[in-house]
């Protein structure tokens, strides 16, 4: 398991897609709410639209969803 580098407490589960750095949801959320919207890793400004669940992509990319083909 990879821990969040900020709080070293929770697992990384959230990624800033703009720069690819990952942290835990708590740390990301607190930055969004504090208007401190810079990536702690590289100081790029981000907002909610760049924040994604870290595990969402790998699940959706392997989906063979032919059910919609009607
Ligand atoms: Zn954290
Ligand atoms: Zn970054």
Give the start-to-end residue ranges of the domains of the chain: 1-55
| Residue 53 phi, psi (nearest 5) | -60, 130
Query: pLDDT of 45-64, one tens digit each?
Result: 999 999 999 876 555 545 55
pLDDT of residue 68: 53
pLDDT of residue 20: 96
- What CATH code is assigned to 1-55? 3.30.40.10
Residues 6+ apart with CB under 8 A from 42: 19, 21
Of all ligands present, the nearest one to the C-alpha of 24 is 1
Instruction: Give ion ligand 2 contacts, CB < 5 A.
Output: 19, 21, 39, 41-42
Q: How confident is the model at residue 1 (pLDDT cuts 50, 70, 90)?
A: confident
Question: 15 C-alpha vs ligand 2 centroid, how far in Å?
Answer: 9
Predicted model pTM: 0.75
Q: How confident is the model at residue 26 (pLDDT cuts 50, 70, 90)?
A: very high
- Cα separation of 14 and 28, whole Å? 8
């Amino acid at each position: 398991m990879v821990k969040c580098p900020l709080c070293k407490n929770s697992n990384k589960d959230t990624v800033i897609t703009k720069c690819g750095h990952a942290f835990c949801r708590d740390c990301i959320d607190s930055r969004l709410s504090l208007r401190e919207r810079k990536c702690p890793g590289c100081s790029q400004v981000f907002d909610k639209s760049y924040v994604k669940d870290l595990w969402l992509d790998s699940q959706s990319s392997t989906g063979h969803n032919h059910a919609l083909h009607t």
